[in-house]
Amino acid sequence: MKEKIKSLKNEIELELNSVKNLKDLNEIKNKYLSKKGPVSELSNGLRDLSIDDKKVYGKLITDFKNDINNQFNILKDKFETEELNKKLENEKIDISMPGVNIGTGSPSFVEKVIDDASDFFISLGYDIYEGPEIELDKYNFEMLNLPKDHPARDAQDTYYLKDEDLLLRSQTSPVQVRVMLNGKGETPIRMICPGKVYRREDIDATHEQEFTQIEGLVIDKNISLSDLKGTFDAFVKHTFGENTEARFRPSYYPFTEPSVEMDMSCIYCDGSGCSMCKPKGWITISGGGMVHPNVLRMCGYDPDKWQGFAFGMAAERIAMLKYNMPDMRSMHENDLRETINFDRKEVK
């Protein structure tokens, strides 16, 4: 019996010495320590022995079993620790690795134009206003001297909503109406109201169904057309450079009288004519005039005491000229190739 135990112990220890991982260790454990394995067989062999021998060999077998189990457990702990360390090593986050670069973006050309124009007009003492993009017909047309049967309404194909009194504003002028109504015919006004407007246009390189207006309004006493001209002249010099000139041409708008087209000298040529300036040497960027007495009256200001001028321009048009962009659509299409491809040098 002693010999059997000794040789079995040697056999198991030999295998344990060469075992490399937890899986192999468990296989060895099953092979020797299962119910029908060789170690259990030793215990079965006790049955045929005398009581005294049973005591002696029983203890030997128990010690042997404990010893073997002990060795298994020590190895089991060792392998488990190794595996855990390996796992931790593999799953470690390497904080020295470079991160994923997330581009921070920059303002769009339209936003840049609005920010720049806002800075300019704030420096002249103007306030910046915003208003609703879904507007009342009354504010978008009627109070701007455009009654329902006015022929000028045909010129603007407007997006009316289900309720015919509601529409997507076709101009930001209703913001001016709202500010005038709040002024109650007593408060002088200096304001611009940059914002989106919507018109049913056929889309091409210079027309979109949605664009951004920068409209301005000044109401005070002793205001004349020369105030508008001085303001516009300062604006084009601020935006396009000191050498830029301003020019007015007669025009017609229902909400101003007199009305003017507002041109600036071409920033691309010396006035000799280029593809940007037709007619020669001048580019139209704005329209405006003196606020029509009917508009003043409807908005609560007495035209015998108050005068005002108003103007409007498209931020996209300014951006196209300032940043030399040939196609207005690229500003709304979100295609980066379009904005990267052309020369974006600022014209000053």
Q: Does position 310 bind Zn ion by CB under 5 A?
A: no
CA dist., res. 326 & res. 208, Å (int): 14
Q: Does position 347 bind Zn ion by CB under 5 A?
A: no
Given the rule CB under 5 A, which of 88-96, 180-188, 259-267, 313-321 is the region that contacts Zn ion?
A: 259-267
Answer whether 311's CB lies under 8 Å from 216's CB: yes
Given the rule CB under 5 A, which of 80-88, 210-218, 227-235, 263-271 is the region that contacts Zn ion?
A: 263-271
Q: Does position 252 bind Zn ion by CB under 5 A?
A: no
In the complex, minimum distance from the CB of residue 330 to Zn ion, in angstroms, rounded to a whole number: 22
In the complex, minimum distance from the CB of residue 249 to Zn ion, in angstroms, rounded to a whole number: 17
Which of residues 234 and 276 has its CB atom nearest to Zn ion in the complex?
Answer: 276
Q: How many CB atoms lie within 10 A of CB 62?
A: 11
In the complex, minimum distance from the CB of residue 265 to Zn ion, in angstroms, rounded to a whole number: 9
Q: Does position 268 bind Zn ion by CB under 5 A?
A: yes
Q: Does position 236 bind Zn ion by CB under 5 A?
A: no
Q: Does position 193 bind Zn ion by CB under 5 A?
A: no
Helix boundaries (H) for the chain: 2-18, 22-33, 38-45, 51-90, 109-123, 137-140, 152-155, 173-183, 225-240, 293-298, 315-322, 336-341
Answer whether 169's CB lies under 8 Å from 135's CB: yes
Which structure tokens are listed for 235?
Answer: 């604006």
| Cα-based distances in Å from 273 to 68, 228, 318, 321 | 102, 27, 19, 15
Residues 271-300 that bind Zn ion (CB under 5 A): 274, 276-277
Helix (H, G, I), strand (E, B) or coil at 110: helix
CA dist., res. 246 & res. 73, Å (int): 94
Q: Does position 269 bind Zn ion by CB under 5 A?
A: yes
Q: Which of 114, 167, 177, 266 binds Zn ion (CB under 5 A)?
A: 266
Which of residues 168 and 325 has its CB atom nearest to Zn ion in the complex?
Answer: 325
Contacts with Zn ion by CB under 5 A: the residue count is 6
Which structure tokens are listed for 105?
Answer: 């973006």
Given the rule CB under 5 A, which of 38-46, 81-89, 266-274, 320-328 is the region that contacts Zn ion?
A: 266-274
Place of tokens 């298994």: 72
Contact set with Zn ion (CB under 5 A)? 266, 268-269, 274, 276-277
